[in-house]
Amino acid sequence: MELWYTENHTKNVKFSIKVDKQLISVKSEFQRIDVFDSVEFGRILTLDGYLMLTEKDEFVYHEMITHVPMAVKTNAKKVLVIGAGDGGTVRELTRYTTIEKIDVAEIDEAVVEICKEYLPQTASKLDDNRVHLFFEDGLKFVRSKKDEYDIIIVDSTDPFGPGEGLFTREFYGNCYNALKEDGVLVNQHESPYYTEDAKAMKRAHKQIFSVFPVCRVYQAHIPTYPSGHWLFGFASKCLDPVTGLNGDKWNALGTKTKYYNTDLHIGAFALPTYVKELLHDAE
């Protein structure tokens, strides 16, 4: 018997991972949640059939979405994470003793429950006493905040489904309002490669660009995401992610990472020509 998990990366491209067994399948109020064990990638979390993370390569995503803003805004004390029910982003943030408060707005409590049970690798720090979980719509949560956060990390699903509202101009505008004067917004920025993903990426960029004066994009290689080439957005009211990098300060912390380092930090903002062109079109 062979069991395979397959995600359609496009209508014409499939990505499959051989599954050892399915551990759980739940239909929550918002989405279908599945956890699989695989030989190659370890445990896998999927939402509505889309791969969210694997134990083998989640470090790339979670390190890049947290350490990049933290190496710029090294004095961050108050961080808001939107989405991120798997806990991976929170795990990385809790490594900074200087952070005093981490608010998490995750719409689906079931994701957190399941990850706590099946994915301790990412969910282990969700119980840290600095972490405050709010099970509500991220768009609604951020709307009522003003001048409150040093960093907002948007660790969302794709812009089709429950995460749709997190790719909109109103959301980015509400984030702008919720950030302090030198605050930073980092978001999961989709992929530039396949046509449909690239469209979503351009739309997101266009909206962020219309809201924030500083609006940069960086990349990482995430093997299990469509095309493997993934982007993140870095937006702020004044801080530049490259010239504003506090490399020495960050290195002095001695945080041990597998993917991120301060050389890569600068390099990650150097984008392929076609990606630059896509972004330029969106602006």
Partner 1 sequence: MKTLSQSDAPIFEALKNHRLNRIVPFDVPGHKGGRGNRELSDFLGLNCLKADVNSMKPLDNLTHPVSVIKDAQSLAAEAFGANDSFFIVNGTTAAVQAMIMSVCKAGEKIIMPRNVHRSAINALVVCGAIPVYINPGVNKSLGIPLGMTVGDVERAVEENPGAKAILVNNPTYYGICSDLKQIVALAHERNILVLVDEAHGTHFYFGENMPVSAMKAGADMAAVSMHKTGGSLTQSSILLCQKSVNANYVRQVINLTQTTSSSYLLLASLDIARKNLSLNGKEMFEKTVQFASYARGEINKLGGYYAFASELTDGAAVFDFDPTKLSVNTTEIGLAGIEVYNILRDDYGIQIEFGDIGNILAIISAGDRSLEIERLISALSEIKRLYSKDKAGMFDHEYISPVVALAPQAAFYSARKTVPLRQSIGRISGEFVMCYPPGIPILAPGEMITEDILNYILYAKEKGCLLTGPQDLNLENIDVAEDK
Alpha-carbon distance of 165 to 175, in angstroms, equals 12
> From the CB of 249, what's the least distance to partner 1, in Å?
34
Q: Where are the alpha helices (DSSP H) in 100-244?
A: 109-118, 120-123, 138-143, 169-178, 195-211
Query: Any contact of residue 168 with partner 1 (CB under 8 A)?
Result: yes
Which residue's CB is nearer to partner 1, number 207 or number 219? 207
C-beta of residue 282 within 8 angstroms of C-beta of residue 202: yes
Alpha-carbon distance of 257 to 87, in angstroms, equals 17
Query: Any contact of residue 139 with partner 1 (CB under 8 A)?
Result: yes
Alpha-carbon distance of 167 to 197, in angstroms, equals 13
Tell me the backbone φ, ψ of residue 156, rounded to 5 degrees. Answer: -100, 170
Contact with partner 1 (CB under 8 A): which of 127, 170, 240, 281? 170
Collapsed DSSP state (helix, strand, coil) of residue 266: helix
Alpha-carbon distance of 235 to 237, in angstroms, equals 7
How many residues of this chain interact with partner 1, rule: CB under 8 A? 16
Which residue's CB is nearer to partner 1, number 116 or number 206? 206
Contact stretch for partner 1 (CB under 8 A) within 18-26, 50-58, 171-179, 268-276? 171-179
Contact stretch for partner 1 (CB under 8 A) within 74-82, 91-99, 132-140, 218-226? 132-140
Query: Any contact of residue 169 with partner 1 (CB under 8 A)?
Result: yes
Catalytic: 155?
yes
Residues 20-59 that bind partner 1 (CB under 8 A): none
> From the CB of 117, what's the least distance to partner 1, in Å?
27
Collapsed DSSP state (helix, strand, coil) of residue 277: helix
Q: Which residues bind partner 1 (CB under 8 A)?
A: 137, 139-140, 143-144, 162, 164-165, 168-171, 173-174, 177, 210
Active site amino acids:
155
